[in-house]
Amino acid sequence: MVAPTFDGEPVRPGDSMKIPMMKRYRLFGLAVLLTLVLAIAPPVLARLRPNHVVFQTSTIGALLEGVYDGVTSFEDLKRNGNFGLGTVNDLDGEMIALDGTYYQVKSNGVASVINNAMKTPFAVVTFFQPEQSARLTNIASFAALQRSLDQVVTTKNIPVAIRLTGTFASIKVRSVPRQTPPYPRLADAVKHQAVFELHNVQGTLVGFRMPLYMQGVNVPGYHFHLLTADRRTGGHLLDCRIQLASVALDYTPELRMLLPDTASFRQTNLGEGTPTEINRVEK
């Protein structure tokens, strides 16, 4: 007959309290360990999700020249931000990242959640941490919106992420249809863009104001994508009339960039991307 054991030691007469006591010690140890983990986790997560950092994959100059195949998956992109904009491989519509969810608005105007395995040829994201806020009323146009924001933004030399949530009397947005190789330049692709005009809608503009010296790397000045409050539609902002809006700003002095190590990126003459062309295709 084999004697009963506990943790490799025989249980002798009079040891009736041994098993429950050892279980209590073990549970107490686990509780202490869990407390330590919970205490350490927030600082560790803070380091994994740095504040006020812009992450960008590829350049606007590459997109202008028709480099529409990227290597960055949306799963990887989510590790670098929960807020931002861009596009999808093959230039298949407009991308909006808001509150950690990434949306694709195709040329039919319908917004859908992006699969993690999908990839992007150009995107700009950050973990949005607002530092400044403002309220805007009765904005008559996109040009007027830019002038109003110029009065709020405190510097022209640091990239700033901008979240504008409000009620739009009208708003004009666009999306570009999926392209097939050999890819046309962006100026040619947008000739076939789908334009949508919405009236009396609520939504959020997700965007950035980039310094002028970043021309060729990103879109200088203001660049916004819209996502409506019902998350059903949106697109690249072309014009708007705003009744009332709240604005939150996140100044992002650190820029991290990943360039696609692909044959098309290596071999394309990227140039500098003239302001005239960028304004034509983006604004």
Look at residues 108, 161, 125 and name the one whose alpha carbon lies nearest to residue 49: 125
Percent of the chain scoring above 90 in pLDDT: 77
Burial of 222 from C-beta contacts in 10 A (0-12 / 13-18 / 19+): buried
Highest mean pLDDT among 9-18, 40-49, 158-167: 158-167
Q: Is residue 92 pLDDT above 50, yes or no? A: yes
Query: What's the mean pLDDT in 30-52?
Result: 53
Q: Quick one: tokens of 156?
A: 């022209």
* pLDDT above 70 for 149: yes
In this structure, what token pair is assigned to residue 33? 């360990």
Question: Does the 53-282 domain belong in CATH 1.10.132.10?
Answer: no
Q: What would the two tokens of residue 241 be?
A: 């009339």
The backbone torsions φ and ψ at residue 198, rounded to the nearest 5 degrees and listed phi first, read -110, 150
Contacts for 139 with CB less than 8 Å, ≥ 6 apart: 145, 148, 240, 241, 242, 245
Q: What is the pLDDT of residues 125-142, one digit of tens each?
A: 999 999 999 999 999 999
> At 29, is the pLDDT very low, low, confident or very high (cuts 50, 70, 90)?
low
Whether the Cβ atoms of residue 233 and residue 196 lie closer than 8 Å to each other = yes
Mean pLDDT of 213-234: 97
Residue 102 pairs in a beta bridge with: 97
Alpha carbon distance 175, 256 (integer Å): 27
**Per-residue pLDDT tens for 194-205?**
999 999 999 999
Separation of first and last alpha carbons in the chain = 86
Domain boundaries, the chain: 18-48, 53-282
Q: What is the pLDDT, as a whole number, of residue 12?
A: 57
- Is the pLDDT score of 47 beyond 90? no
Please name which of 110, 107, 109, 87 lies closest in space to residue 97, comparing C-alpha atoms. 87
Chain centroid to CA 269: 27
